[in-house]
Chains A and B, each alone.
Chain A
Amino acid sequence: MLKIAYFELKKLLRDRRWLALIILQPIILLFILGAATIHDPKNIKIAVFSQWKNEYSNQIIQNLQDEKDLKIEILTSEKLLKDGLDKNHYRGGIVIDIKKNESQINGDLLFISNSTVPEISSQAKLLALNSTKKTLADFAAKNLQAKITTQSQAQSKIIQSDLKSKIDTLETNLSKLSLPNEQLTALTKPLQGIEKINLNGFDNLAKPNQIKINESKNTTRKIRYFDFYASAVVMLLVLITCLNMSSASITQERIDGTFERFFVTPYTKTQMIMGKMLTFSVISLIIAFVTIGTLYYVFNASLGPLWLVILITYLTSLSAVAIGLLVSSFTHTIAESIQVSITIFFSCLILTQFIFQTETMHPILTKITWLVPFTYSMQALREVNLLNVGFMDVWQDIAILGGSVIVFISLAIVLLHRKAD
């Protein structure tokens, strides 16, 4: 078997042009990739924890729950929320810390984004923050009105009409607000405007503006938008290259006639598949190194422990080679094998959540994604590269990947017909 692998490697390495393509491809594609797609996600899972129970926090939660694209889960501690985010259970988390006493309402609202899926996370953030701001605006308006009713009728009429326009401005201003890190200054501005038209005694109405909205991420890494794709792109590059080279490999031998010749010798199909497997895994290790090297040295990408990244990539490549060999066990022409591997590649592109997230998927398709082994490598790579997780957090993904290698290899061996009929 080692001999098979050795000669296979020799054959491949003599094909210089092909080798150059294999090495250049990831570099070129890395320069092209990184563009984003904007979706309309639904059912974004957001964890919420409120430090205190009061009408303000309840109202904020209520409004978050009414937000139709969010799926709110209320947790009982901040620790649960942070753990859940680290385990990638939620696309974002909100910690509400709003206290109310006699005359004052103040506190913080913290939005924590999930760094593995920034685009979904920022969509959620937008929805959550807007909902919160609206809630606070309502409070301000209600407070204002409560005070107004205690004033004289005549006075209040003038004030009410003026107030109404002020509240309208307030709400339009709020809806325009999308800068995430901004404090709730928009609330104070119109209220200051109200003060200017001499609304005596209303000076404590602006209390909700003491609630600050902050945000943070569940990782200490500096993550750019590029990293979200870059972290997982190594998997796709390995996938397409390994699929193509292995799926064409046996087919080429069929065409050349060496396939038949091989099987007139005592060599077995297990030896053929395992020999090729060994060779291709060497090539794919090279591809993995080139890609990870480019990410590291050229793009300064956010990467986890290198050995873990390489391990996941390597298992991915083995799985892809195994699928390729499986494909070549039933295809008869190169065109056929390439077509099949391209179809598999594009299905994986969609199914592994590289571009599309489960939020935008048909529920049945969501289930199917978890049958694709590369979904696990995608997930593991993202977690390792973007979050501060280690082997213990992704060992299940790694185990599934390893299992898939065994399954596909066995299938390839079983399905490979050494006979020509």
Chain B
Amino acid sequence: MEHIIKVTKLTKVFDKTKVAVNEISFKVEKNIIFGLLGPNGSGKTTTQRMLTALLSPTSGQIMIEGTDYKHAGGKILQDIGYVPQKDALYNNLTVWENVDFFFSAYKYEGNRKDRIEEVLNKVDLLDNKNTLAKNLSGGMAKRLSIACAIVHKPKIIFFDEVTMGLDPVAREKIWRLTTELKEHATIVMTTHYMDEAEALCDQLLIMRDGKIIANGSPWEIIKHFDAKNLHDAMVNIKDENA
């Protein structure tokens, strides 16, 4: 099996003392949905931010498609899409303009207009293409945020709690979209919804206090904690912690 991401002893220390991520090592296979789980403050966002080159690791190594991140330069960014935990959109630009703007940063062969239309259609925002981002509802903003991250057809997509605050129908839609995306891309996602992780993820990594405490398929994890489902498994982890 080919590994698109290989992380070795990755560590991030904030302000010299705050260890947010502590020597974690893992591998992610190509074209799967990889779930990063763990309680609040366990280091999921920090890990994702290092994987998207937004933070430089204090120590450790990140290999993307066999290339060390440190030496990859900006080239690797072409293949990455990131949906941050907080919707990061330009409020004074319309739905279409937001996508167009982020799209403009990437190389793309083919008709850009068609692609934007296609993506907006995918996230169900084509009818709202002229709405200003500041006038979108929470769920719509989230979907726009996703559109901005996938428009350039990245090979690796990072989702940081993309379904947070969405209604069940919208959540369904995103699940379907994520599964579709898996055909051409690898998805690394974080979520606090265990049903979601169980239904979507092929592979899971459970973190606590910056360390990995479990790694495997949802089924393996459930078995490992001797639980009924993933939810119970996670509650067990928290209990152990307390």
Contacts and interface: CB of A to CB of B under 8 A. Distances in A.
A interacts with B: yes
B105 A266 contact: yes
Interface string B37-66: 000000000000100111110000000000
A362 interface: no
A10 B92 CA distance: 8
Contacts of B228: none
A11 interface: yes
B213 interface: no
Contact of B90 (A11, A260, A264): A11
A3 B101 CA distance: 7
A267 interface: yes
A2 to B, nearest CB: 9
Contacts of B101: 3-4, 7
B91 A261 contact: no
Contacts of B107: 266
B93 A420 contact: no
Given A10-B93, A420-B49, A263 B88 contact: no
Interface of A: 3-4, 7, 10-12, 14-15, 256-268, 419-421
A263 B90 contact: no
A421 B56 contact: yes
B87 to A, nearest CB: 7
Interface residues of B, number: 33
Contact of A419 (B56, B75, B89, B106): B56
A257 B56 contact: no
Interface string B106-128: 11000000000000000000000
Contact of B53 (A7, A256, A264): A264
Contacts of A11: 90, 92-93
B71 interface: no
Given A3-B104, A257-B84, 14 more contacts: A3-B101, A7-B101, A7-B104, A10-B93, A10-B97, A258-B88, A258-B89, A260-B84, A261-B102, A264-B53, A266-B77, A266-B107, A419-B56, A421-B55
Interface of B: 14, 49, 52-56, 74-75, 77-78, 80-82, 84, 86-93, 97, 100-102, 104-107, 132, 148
Please list the 10 inter-chain residue pairs (A to B) with the smallest Cβ-Cβ separation, ordered nearest first.
Answer: A257-B88, A265-B105, A261-B88, A3-B104, A11-B92, A14-B92, A264-B82, A267-B105, A266-B77, A258-B88
Contacts of B75: 266
Contacts of B88: 256-261
Contacts of A257: 84, 86-88
A271 to B, nearest CB: 9
A14 B132 contact: yes
B92 A419 contact: no
22 contacts: A7-B90, A7-B97, A7-B104, A10-B97, A11-B92, A14-B92, A14-B93, A256-B89, A256-B91, A258-B90, A259-B88, A260-B88, A261-B88, A263-B53, A264-B80, A265-B102, A266-B75, A267-B105, A268-B74, A419-B54, A419-B55, A421-B56
A266 B74 contact: yes
Contact of B54 (A7, A264, A266): A264
Nearest to A267: B105
A203 B106 CA distance: 97
Nearest to B55: A421
A265 B83 CA distance: 12
Nearest to A11: B92
Contacts of B56: 419, 421
Contacts of A262: 105
Q: Of residues A4, A259, A264, A421, which shows the largest number of chain B Cβ atoms within 10 Å of its Cβ?
A: A264
Contacts of A260: 49, 54, 84, 88
A266 B104 contact: no
A419 B56 CA distance: 7
Contact of A261 (B55, B78, B84): B84
A264 B52 contact: yes
B106 A266 contact: yes
B72 to A, nearest CB: 12
